[in-house]
Amino acid sequence: MVVLVTGGNGQLGQALQAIAPQYDKLRFYFASSQEADITNIDSLNAIFAKVKPAYCINAAAYTAVDKAESEPEKAHLINAEGAKNLAEACLQYNTILLHVSTDFVFDGKKKTPYTENDETDPQGVYGLTKLQGELEIQNVLPEHFIVRTSWLYSEYGNNFMKTMIRLGGERDSLSVVDDQKGTPTNANDLARALVQMIQSGITEYGIYHYSNEGSATWYDFAKKIFDINNIAIDLRQIPTSAYPTPAKRPEYSVLDKSKIKKVFGLDIQDWETALTKTGHE
């Protein structure tokens, strides 16, 4: 059974590459953004015709949250139009799509974990274009899984963990926001969850939430990273107001994982355990 992974060289794509050899009943095909340009329907048709995938994991996205505020057209082209193109290709080739989305589709005003049924209200261009992508997929393709995740990190690509480790080696002190709460998610765990969804053969299509268990602020996340790596640094807590960014972040974006655990029987580890396993350079 062939699984096509778009965005194969990105953070999640690399995490999937690392575990792919463990699944001998699946044949993974990792396509870079050059080989499978989701903004180009002809490019997608060519790769789908060549690979004939039973499943497609879309790990291709525009994820530069702040940059999206000044590049809304580019973010929309990749996150919304690209998702639509992919859904149309999946429809044509009878492929089941697993599309990765984000906690940024919510406004962050809740105080309890967000469920799949909660109202969406993105506060920035990135979240808006990701939500538009979700809607395009829902309009085009019945056979889809939309998996929203949060605060993704790993040893691959660019992410908060790697940035903190780098800054820890360069600076004596660091200030990190302590009034935004969410859940750090290990990209390796998300990769395994997506493959388990495929292996299950379950067809309860729709939206699912996946992150590691528990919650943290960015300060909590940073502190744990420094502790694991034995980095001595003067780490200070600051409010969001002291660190203005072009894009507004959700104040609270913890995701409720009840649905994905119930439907697919997933065992999800807490974020601190997951970080301890991966959080070293």
Q: Does some domain include residue 124? A: yes
For residue 9, the enclosing domain spans: 2-158+183-214+253-269
DSSP conformation class of 20: G
**Quick one: pLDDT at residue 279?**
59
CB neighbours of residue 177 within 10 Å? 19
Q: Does some domain include residue 230? A: no
pLDDT in tens, 28-80: 999 998 999 999 999 999 999 999 999 999 999 999 999 999 999 999 999 99
280 falls in which pLDDT band (50, 70, 90)?
A: low
Q: Does some domain include residue 174? A: no
CA atoms within 13 A on the CB side of 206: 10
208 annotated active-site: no
CA atoms within 13 A on the CB side of 227: 10
Looking at the DSSP bridge assignments, the partners of residue 213 are 270
Q: How far apart are CA 231 and CA 249, in angstroms?
A: 27
Q: Residue 165 above 90 pLDDT?
A: yes
Q: How far apart are CA 148 and CA 58, in angstroms?
A: 12
Q: How far apart are CA 98 and CA 197, in angstroms?
A: 9
Q: Does some domain include residue 42? A: yes
Q: Does some domain include residue 235? A: no
Q: How far apart are CA 149 and CA 241, in angstroms?
A: 25
Mean pLDDT for 235-250 is: 93
244 falls in which pLDDT band (50, 70, 90)?
A: confident
Report the number of distinct structural domains present in the chain.
Answer: 1
CATH number for position 100: 3.40.50.720
Q: Residue 281 above 60 pLDDT?
A: no
Q: Does some domain include residue 84? A: yes
pLDDT in tens, 170-223: 999 999 999 999 999 999 999 999 999 999 999 999 999 999 999 999 999 999
Alpha-carbon torsion (49, 137, 64, 252), positive or negative: negative
Q: Does some domain include residue 175? A: no
Alpha-carbon torsion (75, 41, 134, 148), positive or negative: negative
Q: Which amino acid is at 77?
A: L
Q: Does some domain include residue 221? A: no
Assess contact for 213 and 143: CB atoms under 8 A.
no
Q: To the nearest whole number, what is the mean pLDDT of the chain?
A: 96
Mean pLDDT for 133-162 is: 97
Q: State the catalytic residue, choosing from 29, 55, 126, 252.
A: 126
Assess contact for 183 and 213: CB atoms under 8 A.
yes
